[in-house]
Amino acid sequence: MISVLEKEIALRYLKTRKKDGFLNIISIFSFIGISLGVAVLIIVMSVMNGFRTELINKIVGFNAHISIKPYERLINLDKLNDSYLKLISNNLILSNSGEAIITTKNNTKGILLRGYKNEDFSKLEISKNKKIQGNKNTLKKNYISIGKELSFDLNLQLGDNISIMSPAGIKTIIGTLPKQETFFISSIFDSGLADFDSNVAFVNLSTLESFFDYNKDDRNLEIYLKSPSSIEEIKPTIQKIFDNEFVYTWADMNSSLFSALKVERNVMFIILSLIIIVAAFNIISGLTILVKNKTRDIAILKSIGVLNKSIMKIFFLVGITIGITATAFGIIMGVLFSLYIENFRQFLSDTFNVSLFPEEIYFLSTMPSEINSTSIIIISLCSIFITIIVSIFPAIKASKLDPVQGLKYE
Distance CA 81, CA 156 (A): 42
pTM beyond cutoff 0.95 = no
Query: Band of the pLDDT at 169, cuts 50, 70, 90?
Result: low
Query: Would the pLDDT of 202 be above 90?
Result: yes
Residue 5, C-beta contacts closer than 8 angstroms, at least 6 positions apart: 306, 310
Distance CA 148, CA 192 (A): 9
Tell me which residue range forms the domain holding 173: 76-218
- Final residue of a structural domain among 170, 189, 218: 218
Q: Domain check: are 45 and 87 in the same one? A: no
Backbone dihedral region for residue 381 (phi beyond 0: left; psi -120 to 50: alpha; all else: beta): alpha
Most trustworthy range by pLDDT among 45-54, 110-119, 216-225, 272-281: 110-119
Distance CA 218, CA 73 (A): 9
φ/ψ (deg, to 5) at 108: -135, 145
The pLDDT value given to residue 201: 92
- Final residue of a structural domain among 188, 218, 248: 218
One-letter amino acid for residue 383 of the chain:
S
Domain count, the chain: 2
Q: Domain check: are 38 and 96 in the same one? A: no
Percent of the chain with pLDDT over 90: 7
Most trustworthy range by pLDDT among 167-171, 177-181, 381-385: 381-385
The pLDDT value given to residue 328: 93
One-letter amino acid for residue 282 of the chain:
N
User: Between residues 2 and 158, which one has the greater pLDDT?
Assistant: 158
Beta-sheet strands, E only, within 240-282: 245-249
Beta bridge partners of residue 189, listed in sequence order: 147
Beta-sheet strands, E only, within 205-359: 220-225, 245-249
Beta bridge partners of residue 94, listed in sequence order: 221
Distance CA 146, CA 191 (A): 11
- Asked if residue 41 is part of any domain, the answer here is yes
- Final residue of a structural domain among 196, 218, 240: 218
Q: Domain check: are 97 and 49 in the same one? A: no
Q: Which of 109, 54, 30 is nearest to 288 (CA)?
A: 30
Q: How do strand 175-189 and strand 143-147 relate by DSSP bridges?
A: parallel
pLDDT in tens, 290-329: 777 777 777 877 777 778 888 888 888 888 888 888 899 9
Q: Domain check: are 343 and 290 in the same one? A: yes
pLDDT in tens, 35-78: 888 898 899 888 888 888 877 777 777 788 888 888 777 777 78
Q: Domain check: are 286 and 393 in the same one? A: yes
The pLDDT value given to residue 389: 87
Q: How many residues in total does the chain contain?
A: 410
Query: Band of the pLDDT at 140, cuts 50, 70, 90?
Result: confident
Q: Domain check: are 30 and 133 in the same one? A: no
Query: Band of the pLDDT at 113, cuts 50, 70, 90?
Result: very high
- Asked if residue 159 is part of any domain, the answer here is yes
- Asked if residue 70 is part of any domain, the answer here is no
- Asked if residue 396 is part of any domain, the answer here is yes
The pLDDT value given to residue 79: 82
Query: Would the pLDDT of 332 be above 90?
Result: yes
Work out whether the CA dihedral 63, 65, 70, 71 comes out positive or negative: positive
- Asked if residue 381 is part of any domain, the answer here is yes
Helices first, then strands: H and E counts in the chain: 17, 10
Query: Would the pLDDT of 105 be above 80?
Result: no
Side-chain half-sphere of 154: how many Cα atoms within 13 Å?
28
The pLDDT value given to residue 145: 92
Query: Band of the pLDDT at 114, cuts 50, 70, 90?
Result: very high
Instruction: End-to-end CA distance of the chain: give it in Å, rounded.
Output: 33
Q: Domain check: are 41 and 111 in the same one? A: no
Q: How do strand 108-116 and strand 200-204 relate by DSSP bridges?
A: parallel
Cβ pair 131, 116 in contact under 8 A: no
Q: Widest CA span of the chain, in angstroms?
A: 116
Q: Domain check: are 368 and 266 in the same one? A: yes
Q: Domain check: are 397 and 357 in the same one? A: yes
Alpha-helical (H) ranges within 340-407 are: 341-352, 359-362, 373-399, 403-407
Distance CA 221, CA 334 (A): 45
- Asked if residue 151 is part of any domain, the answer here is yes
Q: Domain check: are 84 and 210 in the same one? A: yes
Cβ pair 14, 318 in contact under 8 A: yes
Residue 254, C-beta contacts closer than 8 angstroms, at least 6 positions apart: 59
φ/ψ (deg, to 5) at 12: -65, -40
Q: What is the mean pLDDT of the segment spanning 215-225?
A: 84
- Asked if residue 66 is part of any domain, the answer here is no
Q: Domain check: are 35 and 146 in the same one? A: no
Q: Domain check: are 261 and 344 in the same one? A: yes
Query: Band of the pLDDT at 356, cuts 50, 70, 90?
Result: low
The pLDDT value given to residue 175: 58
Secondary-structure breakdown of the chain: helix, strand, coil percentages, each rounded to the nearest 5: 60, 20, 20
Cβ pair 312, 396 in contact under 8 A: yes
